[in-house]
Amino acid sequence: MEYQLPRLTKMWTHLERQAGGKVKGMGEKQIEVDKRILRTQIGVLKKELESVRKHRKQYRNRRFSVPVPVVSLVGYTNAGKSTLLNQLTGANVLSEDRLFATLDPTTRRVQMKNGSEFLLTDTVGFIQKLPTTLVAAFRATLEEISESSLLVHVVDISHPLAEQQIDAVEKVLAELDVSEIPKLMVWNKVDKVTDPEKIKLEAERREDIVCISALTGEGLLEFCNAVQEKLKDSMVPVEALVPFNKGELLSTIHQVGMVEKTEYTENGTFVKAFVPLRFARLLTPMRQLCKS
């Protein structure tokens, strides 16, 4: 709309022509009316965006108390992020072949067979250069990215300009200052490429790349395992003695971390696991208990 505002000028000249010049100025009045409508709508949308941002912040703060790792899907528009999210979680995120089908960041919970889980967030697609007026609109999403435990870069490997799209996304990521966050690259749409075997070999040759088809479901298990492995990198090993009256902590450890060993002792449950750093801090008193 901000793009449209200064470009309305020539839209209504046909009115003057139709009226044979008798009602000169009619078109211009209409332009003023249109501009006013646009400005009001822009104002309303800006307010809405601000409330989205506040809402997301509150939601993130709440999520902080149960530190389930957050995995953000980033990637070029149409790479297949929403399709992947839908396949993994059955969430009904809008999946369309057009620009910006997802403006609102959408988070879903992915549960693995081994009991651990992570939150998967679909983010808006990056295009070559985000127009500055749009950056405000994506702020909620961008903030979300900087707080995730892992970034999954989804690539449409069947696209003739895949390399350029990868570069464009990495450029935007560099601007976001997220270099500390571990990354995993996913080559999507392997069902669509002419020589899938060649692509898979190439992916194997490089590190940290998983080949999938979000559409057919091929490679999704490998994808989840790779996510788990990567998340483990960002976790810390802990050994703790959890008292029996803190049973809920045990289930949280299973949810957010990766348990290697549990043992029931007289004084509580001994756990050896990898957990997110924030959660490890929560366990500190019990870790001391374990040492003594």
Residue nearer to ligand GDP on the CB measure, 189 or 230: 189
Q: Which two tokens stand for residue 216?
A: 């057919």
**Footprint on residues 25-84 left by ligand GDP (CB under 6 A):** 75, 77-83
Site mask, ligand GDP, residues 202-221, x = CB under 6 A? -----------xxx------
Cα→Cα distances 45→50, 53, 110, 136, 147, Å: 9, 12, 32, 11, 25
Q: Is 96 in the site for ligand GDP (CB under 6 A)?
A: yes
Residues in contact with ligand GDP, counted by CB under 6 A, come to a total of 21
Q: Please give the Cα distance from 108 to 98 (Å, whole number).
A: 22
**Footprint on residues 127-186 left by ligand GDP (CB under 6 A):** none
Minimum gap (Å) between residue 214 Cβ and ligand GDP: 4
Q: Is 222 in the site for ligand GDP (CB under 6 A)?
A: no
Q: Please give the Cα distance from 70 to 117 (Å, whole number).
A: 10
CA atoms within 13 A on the CB side of 121: 25
Q: Is 87 in the site for ligand GDP (CB under 6 A)?
A: no
Residue nearer to ligand GDP on the CB measure, 83 or 269: 83
Q: Please give the Cα distance from 127 to 202 (Å, whole number).
A: 25
Minimum gap (Å) between residue 100 Cβ and ligand GDP: 8
Exposure string of 50-83, with b = 16+ CB inside 10 Å and e = fewer, is eebbeebeeeeeeeeeebbbbbbbbbbbbbbbbb
Q: Is 192 in the site for ligand GDP (CB under 6 A)?
A: yes
CA atoms within 13 A on the CB side of 87: 18
Minimum gap (Å) between residue 155 Cβ and ligand GDP: 10
Q: Which stretch binds ligand GDP (CB under 6 A): 52-60, 97-105, 200-208, 245-253?
A: 97-105
- Secondary structure of 49-64 in HEC code, one letter for each residue: HHHHHHHHHHHHHHHH
Q: Considering only residues 72, 89, 95, 116, which one is a binding residue for ligand GDP as defined by CB under 6 A?
A: 95
Residue nearer to ligand GDP on the CB measure, 127 or 282: 127
Q: Considering only residues 72, 188, 252, 269, which one is a binding residue for ligand GDP as defined by CB under 6 A?
A: 188
Nearest residue relative to ligand GDP (C-beta): 80
Q: Where are the strands (E) in 112-228, listed by range? A: 117-122, 150-156, 183-188, 209-211
Is the distance from CB of 163 to CB of 145 less than 8 angstroms? no
Minimum gap (Å) between residue 85 Cβ and ligand GDP: 8
Q: Please give the Cα distance from 75 to 167 (Å, whole number).
A: 10
Helix segments in 2-80, DSSP class H:
13-18, 26-65
Q: Is 116 in the site for ligand GDP (CB under 6 A)?
A: no
Q: By the criterion CB under 6 A, which residues form the site for ligand GDP?
A: 75, 77-83, 95-97, 101-102, 125, 188-189, 191-192, 213-215
